Amino acid sequence: MRKRKTWLARAALLLLLLFALTTTVFAAGDPTEEQGTKMIKCTECGGVGGCTVCLGTDPACENCGGTYICPACEGTGYIRSSSNFFNTPWALLPPVIAIALALITKEVYSSLFIGILVGGLLYSNFSFEGTINHVFSGGVVASLSDGYNVGILVFLVILGIMVCLMNKAGGSAAFGRWAKTHIKSRVGAQLASIVLGILIFIDDYFNCLTVGSVMRPITDKHNVSRAKLAYLIDATAAPICIIAPISSWAAAVAGFAEDGQGLNLFIRAIPYNFYALLTIVMMIGLVVMKVDFGPMAKHEQNAIYKNDLFSGSNPYAMLDEETDENKGRVIDLVVPIVILVFCCIIGMIYSGGFFSGAGFVEAFSNSDASIGLMLGSAFGLVFAFIYYLIRRSMSFKEMMACIPEGFKAMVPAILILTFAWTLKGMTDSLGAKFFVRDFVRTSATGIQMLLPVIVFVIGCLLAFATGTSWGTFGILIPIVQNVFSMDNPLAIICISACMAGAVCGDHCSPISDTTIMASAGAQCDHVSHVSTQLPYAISCAVIAGICYVVAGLLASVGAPGIIALPVGIVMMLGFLFFMKSRQAKAA
């Protein structure tokens, strides 16, 4: 009997393999790669082309009748999108509406939801039932059921709890007292924020929340506005990670590149990442030269002369508590933060297989930031509980009270992240990436010397509209690799332009998770952060764009494109001197 079952299993397996092989006859290639495609992977079979109910083993199957052919796609693995607006310029309308409303109304929640609603309407062809189902089932629920997203939310909540613990233990106040005697100027406080942001280059999420937790007491003591702190955090998050070979961003780029050359391409592209490099120059120049412009100047003046750090409401006021100013020691802040950093590094390499035999660099390249940061922060939180119990900084009951308080403090960031992820889902379902891909392929390849700046601009717009830099890498890097041989000097410049444009758009976008994290780290109103940061980011983007024009022209005539970098640095310093003179005249 056992032998008979074995032969039945083998026969079923052979039948399954036969159907799997014959299925490929139906699929004549990937139709999503065609120009102007309206095709998507079949939602019934996930692109397999076969029946997922009986796997072709049951002749009585109501789905396929034992043929192992998916009835939805007829074995091709692809179906036509039901939306009339798929792969059209309308696909970018939802994020454009959300961003415009957020900047106009200064209210981010309703703006994001309206953008999501518009995406649902376009996807369902203005069907009421279809819109509701897509917004909630295909949008909100899908984003919150995604394992990666949930890991980031857990990490965010744990950081909120740790901040609450450090405040209640008096560690933050003690660090502020120490900083008052050792960091004696606003310039010093801001430079310390920049240096710390550069040192924490592992991951942008971790960078935003850690730098904010450590530096808030110091910048507050020196009347640095929360908007300025949020800018310094944001500008040392993605722009630093994108030029650090050992970071989660390097791993992402390596994964998107073809032929296993990702890390090599990443390292070769660093000198041409003009936006990231010029952002660092701009940050240091703004601080050292004491120059501010646009809405940021008003925030800084309010902080200096009126002691108003927020220039408006503080959405994180619920986290502020009355604490004994003489309670706690600096070690109560430093030790938990150091252990947190250590645990997160261990978590990152663990998720990359370090303890299963992979090397450190390989493990970091293969790491999952969501899992690594979640596990690392969890262990860091357990250590913080034990540490504060041993130190008798607070009672067990007081520590437990910090859990809901820390969660509540992160509610604004969690809401914005959830809406931003949902809006990205709406944009993806409308085929925005195919529209951008087709535009690049048809419009950009004819003028190769200007391709670096074209790719940079498209990367900026795509990342700004979708709020995702990694998604922008995934779209543009393979296209550039198809256009150029990697031996062509323009290829590396264009690869770098992809990354620079993605970071720039991510830096500017109010629906970017990094921008949201920077607001949370500085405990600054999100719209205030976006509106004050935009003039700085756009100014840097314009100069970086000019650099890509220069680099493209130089490379096309055989000259080294790297000459464009010192040209950009000189232009940036000249721009800051010009703004400084205008500021002096206005005063």
Residue 5 has pLDDT above 90, yes or no: no
Q: What is the mean pLDDT of the chain?
A: 82
Contact 344, 377 (CB under 8 A): yes
pLDDT band at 8, cuts 50/70/90?
very low
Residue 63 has pLDDT above 90, yes or no: no
Residue 164 has pLDDT above 70, yes or no: yes
pLDDT above 70 covers a percentage of the chain that reads 85
Q: What is the mean pLDDT of residues 113-119?
A: 92
Q: What's the pLDDT tens digit per position in 353-370?
A: 889 888 877 787 677 778
pLDDT at res. 230: 94
What is the spatial distance between Cα 324 and Cα 516, in angstroms, rounded to a whole number? 31
pLDDT at res. 74: 80
pLDDT at res. 572: 96
Residue 15 has pLDDT above 60, yes or no: no
* Range scoring the smallest mean pLDDT among 208-212, 473-477, 539-543: 473-477
Q: What angle do CA 6, 11, 13 make, to 5 degrees?
A: 95
Measured in Å, how far apart are the chain's first and last C-alpha atoms? 95
Q: What's the pLDDT tens digit per position in 314-361?
A: 776 655 554 555 678 888 888 888 888 788 889 888 988 889 888 877
Contact 47, 32 (CB under 8 A): no
Better pLDDT: 377 or 25: 377
Choose the most confident range, by mean pLDDT, from 48-62, 63-77, 446-460.
Answer: 446-460
pLDDT at res. 379: 95
Is the sign of the CA dihedral 449, 452, 455, 457 positive or negative?
A: negative
pLDDT at res. 2: 37
CB neighbour list of residue 465: distance below 8 Å, 6 or more residues apart = 92, 95, 96, 99, 427, 432, 505, 509
Residue 3 has pLDDT above 50, yes or no: no
pLDDT above 90 covers a percentage of the chain that reads 29
Residue 139 has pLDDT above 50, yes or no: yes
* Range scoring the smallest mean pLDDT among 56-65, 246-255, 403-412, 434-443: 246-255
Which of 353, 396, 344, 403 is closest to 375 using CA atoms?
344
CB neighbour list of residue 67: distance below 8 Å, 6 or more residues apart = 19, 51, 56
Q: What's the pLDDT tens digit per position in 375-423?
A: 988 999 999 999 999 998 889 999 999 999 888 877 877 887 788 788 8
pLDDT at res. 316: 67
* Range scoring the smallest mean pLDDT among 161-170, 245-254, 549-558: 245-254
pLDDT at res. 587: 63
pLDDT band at 468, cuts 50/70/90?
confident
Contact 560, 318 (CB under 8 A): no
pLDDT at res. 255: 57
At residue 60, φ and ψ (nearest 5 deg) are: -90, 5
Residue 197 has pLDDT above 70, yes or no: yes
**DSSP-derived 3-state class of residue 161:** helix
pLDDT at res. 420: 79
Residue 50 has pLDDT above 50, yes or no: yes
pLDDT band at 16, cuts 50/70/90?
very low
pLDDT band at 148, cuts 50/70/90?
confident
pLDDT at res. 566: 95
Residue 163 has pLDDT above 90, yes or no: no
Q: What angle do CA 526, 528, 531 make, to 5 degrees?
A: 110
Q: What's the pLDDT tens digit per position in 526-564?
A: 889 999 999 999 999 999 999 999 999 998 888 888 899
Residue 285 has pLDDT above 50, yes or no: yes
pLDDT at res. 86: 93
